[in-house]
């Protein structure tokens, strides 16, 4: 009897401490709105669409004869969803695919285009039905700018030069006439041009010196003839922590002559935690959750490392660091085709997206463009499709909630939120950024990394009467949207009124809030 009473008392004590651990404590955050920083370029919210798996075919392109509603072959539901994100730019056609892509296969009457192979991604047939004109139509439909990558791995400088002439000249050259015959008399505007892709890896395993020699040639001859539409050139830069390309490309740039130039170098870093990708997209536990968030936060250190090398050669920050491949790369969905890189997308991935965007924003002076990998049906996608069905992933919702940060001015914040600790992994409990938009409206995004503890964040109202926005939370860290239940993870409205000059933003465990300060 006595033993039973003691046990009951212990149970009651345990229950109390669990309850108090889950009560929201209050943390204070200050926005330093009198110390504006750099502009958070909208190009940081760029996306990547490669000829890979069901990314282009089915995900974007269904063809004009499809029963899936489409405009000139491009599916309407995907376009409508992407328009909401105000996607600033789309990188195409790869990826590894770009360094084996021959653009001439993708122009002219569709029925005459050759079938080729896609050896990188499942060895499937590439029908070339989605080519230059279809891509340019797609970016126009979603209101984005074009970021093309030319083939440096297996192509020639002449092939790249021809593509640029075909795309951009308004002179009546043979290539311009061919473009007109293919339906586009006016020159296209190409905003960004990638000079190769991962030439340290799938793009030819080149030494930095070899790549730099090619870079100068491709940078020279890949000319933009459309004076009304400037084009920035982006060289291949580092793979994760390897600094050899950063050093070589920046050193070459510093010593450049009149004949060539670049505007950016790329960085590729995936949240993967080792190859082959082992982290599960669903059904994972807190240990894996904490480990993967720790992995994603490496992005900050990588930007610092490569940024320091860039500063050495380019203290004025003329060259942008372009993180044109980032995101979670997880174990593929069971039963999906090998090489198609299909994975579900959970609330954890939404947090991964928010943390990376926050890191980019904090480095906005140097990081002026980024592209999540990838857009539809591949890796950390915005959208998943199954034939005519479509769903928006938790990552999509983050990109939609962050739209007000596009081109806004970064505002520093002070936040001491403590830590979230799991075993030997210690992470910041909260992460946040603030910015002021063109109308002087202040925006705040807060992410609660802690999967167990809710939190109340107390913020000086700075003259605002209320905050209004959305919170993205989910029942579990591995909650996902499915075709059967597409709204499990969906933003909910959030409103709070200022009292005594303070506003309280309440965040459930593992959630993201984006709010505007309203006068």
Which residues sit at the interface with ligand AHR, rule CB under 6 A?
A: 50, 94-96, 197-198, 325, 373-374, 379
Nearest approach in angstroms of CB 96 to ligand AHR is 4
Nearer to ligand AHR, 331 or 462 (CB): 331
Nearest approach in angstroms of CB 198 to ligand AHR is 5
End-to-end CA distance of the chain: 63
Question: Rounded to the nearest 5°, which phi and psi values hold at 333?
Answer: -55, 130
Helices (H), 130-280: 132-142, 157-168, 174-181, 208-221, 244-254
Do 369 and 414 touch, CB atoms closer than 8 A? Answer: no
Nearest approach in angstroms of CB 94 to ligand AHR is 5
CA angle 142, 471, 448 (to 5 degrees): 115
Which residue, 194, 210, 216, is CA-closest to 150?
194
Query: Helix, strand, coil shares of the chain as percentages rounded to 5?
Result: 30, 25, 45
Hey, what's the torsion of the CAs at 68, 74, 76, 77, to 10 degrees? 80
Q: Is 448 left (phi over 0), alpha (psi -120 to 50) or beta?
A: beta
Three-class HEC string of 289-303: HHHHHHHHCHHHHHH
**Distance between CA 433 and CA 444 in Å, rounded?**
6
Nearer to ligand AHR, 145 or 239 (CB): 239
Cβ-based burial of 418 (10 A; exposed 0-12, middle 13-18, buried ≥19): middle
Q: Residues 134, 145, 295, 325: which is the catalytic one?
A: 325
Which residue, 245, 358, 346, 236, is CA-closest to 297?
358
Nearer to ligand AHR, 97 or 410 (CB): 97
CA angle 456, 457, 463 (to 5 degrees): 130
Nearer to ligand AHR, 162 or 342 (CB): 342
Nearer to ligand AHR, 94 or 428 (CB): 94
Q: Residues 198, 288, 295, 342: which is the catalytic one?
A: 198
DSSP 3-state assignment of 266? Answer: strand
Do 401 and 354 touch, CB atoms closer than 8 A? Answer: no
What is Dmax (Cα atoms) for the chain? 99
Instruction: Check if 325 is active-site.
Output: yes
Nearest approach in angstroms of CB 374 to ligand AHR is 6
Nearer to ligand AHR, 96 or 512 (CB): 96
Nearest approach in angstroms of CB 412 to ligand AHR is 33
**Distance between CA 395 and CA 377 in Å, rounded?**
12
What is the Cα 390 distance to its own chain's centre?
Answer: 20
Which residue, 114, 189, 119, is CA-closest to 154?
119
Question: What is the number of the residue whose Cβ is closest to ligand AHR?
Answer: 95
Q: At what angle do helices 208-221 and 157-168 cross, to 10 degrees?
A: 30
Nearest approach in angstroms of CB 48 to ligand AHR is 7
Nearest approach in angstroms of CB 208 to ligand AHR is 17
Instruction: Check if 458 is active-site.
Output: no
Nearest approach in angstroms of CB 124 to ligand AHR is 14
Nearer to ligand AHR, 126 or 165 (CB): 126
Nearer to ligand AHR, 41 or 374 (CB): 374
Nearer to ligand AHR, 327 or 428 (CB): 327
Which residue, 508, 455, 491, is CA-closest to 350?
491
Nearest approach in angstroms of CB 52 to ligand AHR is 6
What Å distances lie between residue 138 and 157, 203, 207, 242, 511, CA to CA? 26, 26, 35, 35, 33
The residues annotated with a catalytic role in the active site are 198, 325
């Amino acid at each position: 009897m006595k033993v039973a009473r003691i046990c009951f008392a212990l149970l009651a004590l345990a229950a109390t401490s669990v309850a108090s651990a889950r009560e929201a404590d209050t943390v204070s955050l200050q926005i330093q709105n009198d110390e504006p920083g750099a502009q958070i370029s909208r190009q940081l919210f760029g996306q990547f669409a490669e000829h890979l798996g069901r990314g282009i075919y089915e995900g974007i392109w269904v063809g004009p004869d499809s029963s899936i509603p489409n405009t000139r072959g491009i599916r309407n539901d995907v376009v409508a969803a992407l328009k909401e994100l105000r996607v600033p730019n789309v990188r195409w056609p790869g990826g590894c695919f770009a360094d084996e892509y021959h653009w001439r296969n993708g122009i002219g009457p569709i029925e005459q285009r050759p079938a080729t192979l896609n050896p990188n991604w499942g060895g499937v047939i590439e029908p070339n039905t989605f080519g230059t004109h279809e891509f340019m139509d797609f970016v126009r439909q979603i209101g984005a700018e074009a970021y093309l990558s030319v083939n440096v791995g297996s192509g020639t400088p002449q092939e790249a030069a021809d593509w640029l002439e075909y795309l951009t000249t308004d002179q009546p050259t043979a290539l311009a006439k061919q473009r007109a015959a293919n339906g586009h008399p006016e020159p296209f505007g190409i905003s960004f041009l990638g000079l190769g892709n991962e030439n340290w890896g799938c793009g030819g395993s080149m030494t930095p010196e070899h790549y730099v020699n090619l870079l100068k040639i491709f940078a020279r001859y890949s000319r933009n003839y459309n004076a009304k539409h400037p084009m920035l050139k982006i060289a291949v830069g580092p793979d994760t922590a390897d600094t050899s390309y950063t050093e070589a490309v920046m050193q070459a740039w510093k010593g450049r002559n009149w004949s060539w130039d670049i505007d950016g170098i790329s960085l590729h870093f995936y949240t993967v935690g080792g190859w082959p990708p082992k982290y599960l997209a669903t059904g994972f536990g807190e240990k894996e959750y904490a480990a993967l968030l720790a992995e994603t936060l490496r992005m900050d250190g990588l930007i610092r490392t490569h940024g320091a090398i860039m500063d050495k050669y380019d203290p004025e920050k003329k060259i942008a660091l372009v993180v044109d491949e980032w995101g979670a790369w997880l174990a593929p969905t069971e039963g999906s085709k090998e090489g198609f890189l299909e994975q579900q997308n959970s609330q954890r991935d939404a947090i991964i997206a928010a943390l990376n965007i926050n890191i980019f924003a904090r480095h906005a002076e140097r990081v002026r463009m980024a592209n999540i990998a990838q857009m539809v049906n591949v890796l950390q996608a915005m959208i998943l499709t199954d034939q005519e069905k479509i769903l928006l992933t938790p990552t999509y919702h983050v990109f939609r909630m962050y739209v007000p940060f596009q081109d806004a001015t970064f505002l520093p914040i002070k936040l001491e939120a403590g830590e979230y600790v799991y075993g030997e992994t210690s992470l910041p409990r909260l992460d946040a950024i603030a910015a002021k938009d063109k109308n002087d409206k202040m925006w705040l995004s807060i992410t609660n990394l802690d999967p167990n503890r809710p939190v109340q964040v107390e913020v000086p109202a700075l003259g605002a009467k209320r905050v209004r926005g959305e919170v993205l939370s989910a029942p579990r860290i591995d909650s996902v949207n499915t075709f059967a239940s597409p709204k499990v993870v969906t933003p909910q409205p959030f409103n709070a009124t200022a009292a005594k000059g303070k506003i309280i933003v309440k965040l459930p465990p593992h959630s993201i809030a984006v709010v505007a300060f309203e006068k």
